[in-house]
Amino acid sequence: MDSPAPDAGQHLVLDIGGDVGALAIDTGPGRDGTEIEISPAGSQQRVHNVVRRRPAGPVTRYAAVFPALAAGEYTVWRNDAAPAGTVEVHGGRVAEFRLD
Mean pLDDT of 82-89: 97
Query: pTM for the complete prediction?
Result: 0.86
Q: What percent of the chain has pLDDT over 70?
A: 90
Residue 71 pLDDT > 50: yes
Over the stretch 30-54, which tens digit does the pLDDT of each residue have?
A: 999 999 999 999 998 999 999 999 9
Q: Which residues contact 77 (CB under 8 A, 6 or more apart)?
A: 36, 37, 38, 39, 46, 83, 84
Residue 84 pLDDT > 60: yes
**Quick one: pLDDT at residue 10?**
55
